[in-house]
């Protein structure tokens, strides 16, 4: 490692010592003055603690960036198909509630944004998906009520006067349970459908990767067992969802198969009707009764 440090210093130090002010400030805000100096100014790749912190920050920022689009494919699937097949409303409702409580808990505790930033971004996308699921299920009025309730909940959870930190801590413990429980209705919906329906593979596998990375970043940066246990449990259930996605890949849902059988039955009936005798004379021929030959009248 010392030889690597000696090799890299003359190459990288002319660059790292002359970074623009905004980039330097961003680096210091992410990993702190000590680690910024050690890793970027001194190019000390032997500093294990700072390396772990830098990796954790990089992964955290990557998750936050990816989370800005993680649910977009799911939204597009719903809009294109105008169907909520395979997507559990209860699952998204529980997850949205869990994310809202976790966002308030992290913000009010002053934790680094890189450790929870995706919560805010996914929360907004979840609200859109939940509204679409209700709308395509013929429950548009319930969707409007849901948005109003969520707005009131935001005002309540972020207010110290209404919810103190002790109460918010208990809510966070419940949010971890809700986050885990939110996966169960979706797993059950996929099992009952025998298909993933409109469920987005991009979202499922990104959730799996994100929950795995969050276990690492929480270990490194946040000393809070409530959050850590939630990510561990979420990772296990995300593994189940990912396995279902692979198992049911390109398998049509039971509802789709039913519609296909119904369509084929209608087509078969239509074809049999079109091939049936169209006149009494045709009926005679088809039943084996010979037609009577026409008679001709002689002229006198």
Asked if 125 and 70 touch (Cβ cutoff 8 Å), the reply is yes
Query: Percentage of the chain surpassing pLDDT 70?
Result: 82
For residue 227, how many other CB atoms are within 10 A of its CB?
A: 23
Nearest CA to 116 out of 35, 213, 28, 234 is that of 213
CB of 64 closer than 8 Å to CB of 118: yes
Question: How do the residues of the chain divide into helix, strand and coil, expressed in percent and rounded to 5?
Answer: 75, 0, 25
Sign of CA dihedral 202, 205, 211, 213: negative
Alpha helical stretches, state H, 182-224:
183-193, 201-221
Q: Is pLDDT at 285 greater than 50 in this prediction?
A: no
Structure tokens, 95: 């997850």
Residue 237 has pLDDT above 50, yes or no: yes
State how far the Cα of 141 lies from the Cα of 190, in Å rounded to an integer. Answer: 26
Cα separation, 36 vs 247, whole angstroms = 46
Can you give the pLDDT at residue 100? 93
Q: If pLDDT is split at 50, 70 and 90, which confidence band does 120 have?
A: confident
- Rounded Cα gap, residues 188 and 40, in angstroms: 49
pLDDT at 171 over 70: yes
Contact at 8 Å (CB) between 227 and 119?
no
pLDDT tens track for 15-26: 888 888 888 877
179-221 residue pLDDT tens = 778 888 888 888 887 877 777 788 788 878 888 888 887 877 7
The pair of structure tokens assigned to 283 is 């009926």
Alpha-carbon distances, residue 80 vs 72, 74, 75, 76 (angstroms): 12, 10, 9, 6
Residue 234, φ and ψ in degrees, nearest 5 = -60, -40
Q: What is the pTM of this model?
A: 0.61
What whole-number distance in Å separates Cα of residue 252 and Cα of residue 175?
Answer: 34
Q: Please answer whether residues 247 and 199 qualify as being in contact, where contact means their C-beta atoms are separated by less than 8 angstroms.
A: no
Residue positions counted in the chain: 300
Question: For residues 94 and 75, is the Cβ–Cβ distance under 8 A?
Answer: no
Rounded Cα distance between 246 and 236, Å, is 16
Sequence-separated (6 or more) residues with CB below 8 Å from residue 26: none
C-alpha to C-alpha distance for 224 and 89, rounded to whole angstroms: 30
Q: Whose structure tokens read 């294109």?
A: 80
pLDDT of 287: 47
């Amino acid at each position: 490692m010392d030889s690597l440090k000696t090799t890299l210093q003359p190459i990288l130090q002319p660059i790292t010592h002359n970074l623009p002010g905004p980039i330097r400030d961003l680096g210091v805000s992410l990993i702190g003055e000590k680690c910024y100096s050690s890793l970027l100014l001194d190019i000390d790749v032997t500093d294990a603690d700072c390396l772990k912190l830098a990796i954790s920050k990089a992964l955290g920022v990557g998750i936050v960036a990816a989370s800005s689009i993680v649910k977009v494919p799911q939204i597009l699937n719903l809009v294109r198909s105008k169907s909520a097949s395979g997507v559990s409303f209860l699952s998204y409702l529980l997850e949205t509630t869990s994310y809202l409580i976790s966002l308030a808990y992290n913000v009010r505790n002053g934790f680094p944004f890189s450790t929870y930033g995706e919560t805010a971004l996914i929360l907004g996308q979840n609200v859109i998906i939940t509204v679409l699921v209700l709308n395509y299920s013929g429950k548009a009025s319930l969707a409007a009520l849901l948005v109003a309730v969520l707005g009131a909940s935001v005002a309540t959870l972020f207010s110290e006067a209404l919810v103190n930190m002790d109460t918010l801590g208990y809510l966070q413990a419940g949010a971890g349970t809700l986050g885990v429980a939110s996966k169960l209705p979706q797993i059950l919906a996929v099992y009952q459908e025998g298909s993933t329906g409109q469920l987005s593979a991009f979202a499922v596998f990104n959730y799996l990767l994100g929950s795995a990375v969050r276990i690492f970043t929480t270990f490194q940066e946040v000393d809070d067992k409530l959050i850590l246990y939630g990510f561990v449990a979420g990772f296990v259930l995300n593994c189940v969802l990912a396995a279902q996605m692979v198992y049911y890949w390109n398998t049509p849902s039971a509802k789709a198969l039913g519609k296909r059988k119904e369509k084929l039955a209608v087509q078969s009936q239509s074809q049999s009707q079109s091939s049936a005798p169209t006149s009494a004379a045709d009926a005679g021929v088809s039943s084996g009764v010979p037609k009577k030959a026409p008679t001709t009248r002689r002229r006198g």
